[in-house]
Amino acid sequence: MADQPYRVIVVEDDADVAFYTKTVLEKRGCVVHALSDPTLAIAAVASFEPDVVITDIEMPGITGLDLIDQIRAQRPGTPVVVMTAHVSIDYAVAALRSQADEFLTKPVASSDLISVVTRLADEFRRAQAATPPRDVVLAIGAHPDDVELGVGGLLAAHRAAGDAVTILTLSRGARGGEADDRQHESLAAAELIGARLFLEDLVDTQISNGDPTVGIIERVVRETTPTIVYTHSNHDRHQDHRAVHDATLVATRSVRTVACYQSPSATVDFRPNRFVSIDGFTDAKIALLNCFASQADIRWYLEPDFVVATARYWSRYGGGKSSEPLEIVRDSADVSVSRGAIAAAVRVEKQRQMRDEAAS
């Protein structure tokens, strides 16, 4: 990896500046992906996996400072360089509060550009090399909002720790509302935390514990190679939930850790033996559930007060003030997120709040 050319994304709506930046870096051996549309940047970060992102501040539809927050959520630790033509202390302070790694004013000298990119990319790669391998998480649910309700806080914590997260939803929940609405809601929730979404079209209330369910899960497991899988418990009144549980155990034989989350239809036989703190991520969980607006009036258990109260209840068995319960089926890894990663994520959130307060 150290011998590979540095990979750089340039987000710049000024074609001349983008061309100049791209040309300078390519002449020094970098692989550069230039974007004029900032709304495409997050998808590019996920697929291109850059060592550095360079962005302008003022762009149509989104500011570079907002883009930093999205990049941090999508790929924590990625260095971001902010460029602007405005030589202003206010811009510099705003950039630093948004966790920019460098602040450059236009026109940028080629030597300064190369120096900054080389230093940040080298630091990023050395930090990656020194960091233990991240987990790859696959969360499987029968219907839209199942996963988000069961382990939404934990998935947000995984993303904050830099873990890759994939959500597999096996039906579009047509019995619970309009399938098209629920599809859009599922996509919005996944995008909110930077998760990948597989949305299948099995028949709601008729999901099988054999094929095609097993085959679908096996396909996603092959594609994502998860180290941790979250799925439904078999201690559940809903037929679809039990079927997904059974199919998951068959399809994830090679996965080292499998854990079951609680659903509102869980029976009294649901016996969690791991309670994972989601302190600092209850707001993220509520934001995920708020994406499912079509269910707000018919599913009382999506109400924020109930979600918070449930998390507080389970915390009596675990650490912190809020927890999500899990039944561990198979475990050769620690499904909790490191305290350091959570603390870092909480610091980022506090800094974002400080920035918002300063702006107001």
Angle at 340 between CA 339 and CA 342, to 5 degrees: 65
| pTM (2 d.p.) | 0.64
Query: Which DSSP symbol is given to 212?
Result: T
Q: Which of 9, 22, 30, 12 is nearest to 84 (CA)?
A: 12
Q: Which residues contact 309 (CB under 8 A, 6 or more apart)?
A: none
pLDDT of the chain, 360 residues: tens digit per residue = 457 899 999 999 899 999 999 999 999 999 999 999 888 888 888 788 899 999 987 777 777 777 887 887 777 789 999 887 766 666 666 656 557 888 888 889 999 999 999 999 999 999 888 776 678 999 999 999 999 999 999 999 998 888 899 999 999 887 766 778 889 999 999 999 999 999 999 999 999 999 999 999 999 999 999 999 999 999 999 999 999 999 999 999 999 999 999 999 999 999 999 999 999 899 999 999 999 988 877 788 889 999 999 999 999 997 789 999 999 998 865 565 544 444 445 544 555 555 555 555
The token pair that represents 208 in the structure block: 């099988």
Pairwise CA distance, residues 102 & 52, whole Å: 11
Give me the domains of the chain, ranges plus CATH numbers. 7-131 (3.40.50.2300), 136-347 (3.40.50.10320)
Residue 92 three-state SS = helix
